[in-house]
Chains A and B, each alone.
Chain A
Amino acid sequence: MGMIRLWIFILTATFLSSCSTQYAITKSNREEYSINDKIEVDSAIVRTYLPYKQKLDQEMTKVIGHTSVLLTKTSEFPESVLGNFFADAVFNQAKKLEPTIDFVFPTTKGGLRNDISKGPITVSGVFELMPFENQLVLFKLKGSDVLIILNYIALTNGQPVAGLRMNIKDKTPENIYINGKPFDVNQTYMVLTSDYIGNGGDDAKGFANPISRKNIGLLVRDALLKEVAELEFAGKKIEAKTDGRITKN
């Protein structure tokens, strides 16, 4: 090894010993790709999912009803067309099993997972709106616990409900009517919700100390599927709308 080479080694070694052994980031470039129809399809992936899809499609593409309006949600207003449809459908179906229900709060706004477009409704459409396997649970509650629920609903700028009307003022409930009668904190109420909310999901409050609690044996999604199919059988379309059940002034 010649002297020059040795010197290069020494210089390099000196340089290196003053270095971090890690690499240093010198630049970062970022990009986001939209996955749309301009991108080709990987046929290997399609081949993998096709058998699953065919089996599923047989069950899911069946049209079970129709809606004459777009069922859509909003977080801006305290009630939405989709939320009202959802709560009314659950109320109608659950009342057949439990006629004593005062009001229903079957999902949070966050639980409305997809809109349903105007026109035919498929099984798949209902699954995408309500994909979760939640059970409907009936709570007998003290008025003071109901008030906690109403406060939660007001604080979160309204939630999907049926059998309940109220106004939200400064994030608190007022002019409350339950089952057509003014709310009385000294009464007990029969409140239907999902096991998810009843167990404190989405930080819902007021269900922790019930007088009684029972599972009514109906999945939330099944209530929706039944309602859609029954309306279709009766030759009716869904005509959901906002009706001022929860206002904010």
Chain B
Amino acid sequence: MEELQKTNRRNFIKAGGILSAAFALNINSFDAFATGRLQKITILHTNDVHSRIEPFPMDGSRNQGLGGTARRSALIKKIRAEQENVLLLDAGDIFQGTPYFNKYGGELELKLMSAMGYDATTLGNHDFDNGIEGFYKQLPHANFEVLIANYDLKNTALYQSTKPFKIFKKAGLKIGVFGIGIQLKGLVDPKNYGETQYLDPIAIANATASLLKNDHQCDLVICLSHLGYKYRDAIVSDQVLAASTKNIDLIIGGHTHSFLTVPEDVKNLGGQITTINQVGFAGINLGRVDYYFEPGKKKKLKLSTPYEINNWLDKS
């Protein structure tokens, strides 16, 4: 209903007629304005889960007892029970790291992610570990999207199995999500990535984010990135990506297994905020970013940040 309402409103603005406005503006839109009702989207995310089906064993190792899909699923269910509009996303490297992958080839990882209701992931370098065909073979177990905008896969088995982006509609809001992958040459055995063509992540990210925000009028644009959080050298990273692009609100990162104390907010090329987050690896943590929206005009920049940021949740 809210989606319909917004479309109608846009049509009206184009038409510019008062009578069509009277027709288009239904009771719902009055309510939204009158009460100043906020829309809220909850983004949950993981990265580099690396086949960690069960918690790390209690063997004195650094991460003993942490992680585990059964707990992650319970937590996600609890959050879904409290929040209406949840998107569950992953930033790649689902495969490799425990014998579950060696024995079953990733089938179980994708089955469990499907059961948890993941909406999308991107391709990490280790997702190529059994070759393009090895990933393709397991795709029937995934009921979520694999998003990758900067790999040209048309000469591979994955042709038409992935999408550059997807627009999710929640509470009348449009959330554009796209994927960006790392340079595979030097990182993945050439026999495993085959004819995959790597395209410039910054150019592709900029073009895709602009398409989503300007052409498709997305209210929120999220990049699932497997580039890595930051590097000492001048290698493209999430920090570089954030500062060299505009129209991306949130980068959900991976690859470097970085445990960020809090998400990092970078001023992007458009002078807006691009937030980077990454939550370690192996499903030790689940990240959460809530966005609150107000319908209508974008606020003028008054402070250094155009919206309020808290590293805590509102008490419900």
Interface residues of A (CB under 8 A from B): 1, 6, 9-10, 12-13, 16-37, 39-46, 48-49, 52-53, 55-56, 59-60, 70, 113-115, 117-119, 123-124, 127-128, 131-133, 195-196, 199-203
- Residue in A closest to B103 when the chains form the complex, CB atoms: A56
- Top 7 A-B pairs, shortest CB-CB distance: A42-B73, A23-B293, A13-B21, A27-B292, A42-B74, A45-B70, A39-B71
Question: A35 and B13: CB pair below 8 A?
Answer: no
Q: Can you list 8 A-B pairs with a CB-CB distance of less than 8 A? A: A9-B25, A29-B313, A31-B290, A32-B288, A36-B65, A59-B99, A59-B103, A128-B97
Distance of B47 from chain A, by nearest CB (Å): 12
In the complex the two chains form, what is the Cα distance from A69 to B99 in whole Å? 23
Question: A30 and B70: CB pair below 8 A?
Answer: no
- Residue in B closest to A6 when the chains form the complex, CB atoms: B22
Chain B residues 295 to 311 lying within 8 A of chain A, measured CB to CB, are: 295-299, 306-311
Q: Does B166 interact with chain A (Cβ within 8 Å)?
A: no
Which among B51, B65, B298 is the interface contact of A24 at CB below 8 angstroms?
A: B298
In the complex the two chains form, what is the Cα distance from A245 to B279 in whole Å? 36
Give the secondary structure class of A's interface: mixed
In the complex the two chains form, what is the Cα distance from A49 to B72 in whole Å? 14
CB-defined contacts of B133 to chain A, threshold 8 Å: none
In the complex the two chains form, what is the Cα distance from A40 to B75 in whole Å? 8
CB-defined contacts of B219 to chain A, threshold 8 Å: 22-23, 25
CB-defined contacts of A127 to chain B, threshold 8 Å: 98-99, 102
Question: A21 and B173: CB pair below 8 A?
Answer: no
Distance of B63 from chain A, by nearest CB (Å): 9
In the complex the two chains form, what is the Cα distance from A95 to B314 in whole Å? 63
Distance of A142 from chain B, by nearest CB (Å): 22
Q: Known contacts being A28-B275, A128-B98, is A33 close to B129, with CB within 8 Å?
A: no
Interface core residue of A25, A119, A201 (most chain B CB under 10 Å): A25
Residues of B in contact (CB 8 Å), total 94
Question: A25 and B293: CB pair below 8 A?
Answer: yes
Question: A16 and B309: CB pair below 8 A?
Answer: no
Q: Known contacts being A22-B298, A31-B312, A117-B59, is A41 close to B18, with CB within 8 Å?
A: no
Which among A12, A37, A49 is the interface contact of B108 at CB below 8 angstroms?
A: A49
CB-defined contacts of A70 to chain B, threshold 8 Å: 60
Interface residues of B (CB under 8 A from A): 6, 9-10, 12-13, 16, 18, 21-22, 25, 30, 33, 38-39, 51, 53-55, 59-62, 65-75, 77, 96-104, 108, 111-112, 115-116, 129, 172-173, 185-191, 217-220, 249, 262-263, 275, 277, 279, 283-299, 306-314
Question: B16 and A19: CB pair below 8 A?
Answer: no
In the complex the two chains form, what is the Cα distance from A21 to B217 in whole Å? 8
Question: B288 and A33: CB pair below 8 A?
Answer: yes
Distance of B209 from chain A, by nearest CB (Å): 14
CB-defined contacts of B187 to chain A, threshold 8 Å: 201-203
CB-defined contacts of A17 to chain B, threshold 8 Å: 13, 16
Distance of A147 from chain B, by nearest CB (Å): 20
CB-defined contacts of B100 to chain A, threshold 8 Å: 52, 56
Given contacts A1-B22, A40-B71, A200-B185, 15 further A-B contacts (CB under 8 A): A13-B25, A16-B296, A21-B13, A22-B217, A25-B306, A25-B307, A27-B307, A35-B55, A35-B284, A36-B66, A45-B112, A49-B54, A52-B100, A118-B60, A127-B98
